[in-house]
Amino acid sequence: MSALDRMAMTVLQPGFEGTGFDGAGFEGAGFESARARRAVPPEWLLRALADGLGGVILFARNIATQEQTAALTAALREENPEVIVAVDEEGGAVTRLEAATGSSWPGNLALGVADDVAVTERVARRIGGLTAAAGITLDYAPVVDVNADPRNPVIGVRSFGSDPEVVSRQAVAWIAGLQGAGVAACAKHFPGHGDTVTDSHLALPTVPASREVLERRDLAPFRAAITAGVRAVMCGHLLVPALDDVPATLSRAVLTGLLREELGFGGVAVTDAIEMRAVAALYEPSEIAVRALAAGADVICVGVSSPGGRSVYDLRDAIVQAVREGRLPEWRLAEAAERVLGLAAWHAGQAGARAAVAGETGAGAVDDAGRALGLAAASAALRATGAPDRPVLETAPLVVRLAARQSQAVGRARSFGLAGALAEILPGTAEAEVGEGEALPDLSDPRRPVVIAVHDAVRHAWMRRLLDEAVRARPDAVVVETGVPGAPVGRVHLATHGNAAVSARAAARWLTAGPGTASP
């Protein structure tokens, strides 16, 4: 294998199938014994790591338990000690390590609403402990997009809010907490995905803002993150006409002119997954990879790989061919590979920080103190309108959940579980899920309290219509909004500012708490 081949492998970061224990009888609780056994990643992946593959990205499909994940990442490092192991662990709705149970910590909007930077740093440090114990190098968090449009289908509660000053200071605190635990943070989605109404997983979003607005609003949190020493920045698949006429991921004006030269970022620039339709509808994967590297990206993130890993080697070969044809300067590929190896070296130097956080957090397990922190942070984000008698609920309610399809960014994470959280306090709580085009259940029994749970009702006309219908049928209904809140509806309207599992528990406790409990 040539040095050029190896450099091309270094800049790739594919996903893969399996937990490392597939077919070995380690199901469910059996994964607890994973530490005593060696994980066996796919053969093609081990071969690619030996050939210099610079990174991998883990998804919920790769994760069963903390110990299994740690065994898997250890096996990867046996083949390549410098491999970057990345994951999307934002807290809140987007979690991979806690996908089966829901995150123990609220997401960014909840943290932004409370706006307590000390709490945010502690939450991020806890997430750092969780990821560090799993063997993670790079966490694709925090989201530092300013959620300028409440109709945004993919950012929403993943953002710290719509105020760039709040987003900036919260981002700095989050980065300090995570990187203080010895795990690299990544600010995303450059140059700002907040002012869009299109999900880049499905199509190419356009950011309509002027350069002046971008500078004042969208770029401010990235400047703050870079000043704070964030190790990586992820570029979004966005069309920003004020900057260029090609998607940002493929734009030298964005990745080199703006990110490197104007903002002074010297860390690792990562693409969002190249199979997302925003760019995949325009070019083949190999062309996206070559153009992104030429524009200034250092890491090509590929969420899905073909069986046997042929697609990874095809990308390598396309990059090498582009260098030989003069389409991609060799110095640019060498620069990208050097930055990847530099991040690996930074991670190796953070062993002391990871050991310290392991002593604080119980080697990654979410202990009672971590759960208490998560619940307190989620509770601080609750906002109620109306003048409710307390407790709001004394008997088991019917929870009607108006459910829209989640963004692909959420993946397999467990959805908001208000009914389950209420059932732990009020046994007999029932749930009815209603989707678009479906009718409300019977709400006529006055002895049964009704709770209407919605997420981002401001984005869904059908949801608002059913919500109004439900409140007309039951004026005493309680409305719980778990997304970006719009105008309050109902006798009591409780906004959680997030749909993490811990936000459901916080809402359930508030709804059932007595009159001595402070109102949010």
The confidence score (pLDDT) of residue 34 equals 46
Query: Does residue 412 carry a pLDDT above 60?
Result: no
Position 520 pLDDT exceeds 90: no
Q: What is the dihedral of CA 10, 13, 14, 18, to 10 degrees?
A: 100
Q: Omega into 191 within 30° of 0, i.e. cis? A: yes
Residues 222-274: tens digit of each pLDDT: 999 999 999 999 999 999 999 999 999 999 999 999 999 999 999 999 999 99
Q: How far apart are CA 229 and CA 163, in angstroms?
A: 22
Q: Is the pLDDT of residue 13 over 90?
A: yes
Per-residue confidence (pLDDT) for residue 367, from 0 to 100: 87
Residue type, 444: S
Is pLDDT of 394 > 90? yes
In the predicted model, what is the mean pLDDT of residues 356-368? 80
Assess whether pLDDT exceeds 90 at residue 85: yes
Question: How far is residue 191's CA from residue 229's CA, in Å, rounded to a whole number?
Answer: 17
Percent of the chain scored above 90 by pLDDT? 84
How many other β-carbons are positioned within 10 Å of the β-carbon of residue 27?
A: 11
Identify the pLDDT of residue 407.
62
Average pLDDT over residues 396-417: 74
pLDDT digits (tens, 9 = 90+) for 452-488: 999 999 999 999 999 999 999 999 999 999 999 999 9
The pLDDT-based confidence of 437 (bands split at 50, 70, 90) is: very high
* % of the chain beyond a pLDDT of 70: 92
Tell me how far apart the 2 most distant CA atoms of the chain are, in Å. 76
Q: Look at residue 416 in the predicted model and tell me its pLDDT.
A: 58
Q: pLDDT tens across 115-147, in order?
A: 999 999 999 999 999 999 999 999 999 999 999
Does residue 324 carry a pLDDT above 90? yes
Look at residue 284 and tell me whether its pLDDT is greater than 80.
Answer: yes
Average pLDDT, the chain: 92
Which pLDDT band, with edges at 50, 70 and 90, does 86 fall under? Answer: very high
The confidence score (pLDDT) of residue 28 equals: 45
Q: Give the side-chain half-sphere CA count within 13 A for 386.
A: 21
What is the reported pLDDT for 386?
A: 83
Residue 321: pLDDT band with limits 50, 70, 90: very high
The span from the first CA to the last CA of the chain, in angstroms, equals 62
Predicted pLDDT of residue 25:
43
Segment 317-328 shows an average pLDDT of 98
At 161, phi and psi to the nearest 5? 145, -165
Residue 27 is predicted with a pLDDT of 46
Active-site residue among 272, 347, 455, 497? 272
Contacts of residue 107, Cβ cutoff 8 Å, sequence gap at least 6: 90, 91, 92, 93, 94, 157, 158, 498, 499, 500, 503
Q: Mean pLDDT over residues 177-199, rounded?
A: 96
Omega before residue 142 within 30° of 0, cis: yes
What pLDDT is stored for residue 406 in this prediction? 66
47 — pLDDT class (breaks 50, 70, 90): very high
Q: What is the mean pLDDT of residues 23-50?
A: 70
Has 272 been annotated as catalytic?
yes
Q: 189, 193, 201, 455: which is the annotated catalytic residue?
A: 201
In this prediction, residue 514 carries a pLDDT of: 59
pLDDT at 389: 73
**Residue 29: per-residue pLDDT:** 42
- How many other CB atoms are found less than 10 A from the CB of residue 405? 9
Contacts of 486 (CB under 8 A, 6+ apart): 150, 457, 458
Q: Look at residue 364 in the predicted model and tell me its pLDDT.
A: 62
Identify the band that residue 23 occupies on the pLDDT scale cut at 50, 70 and 90. low
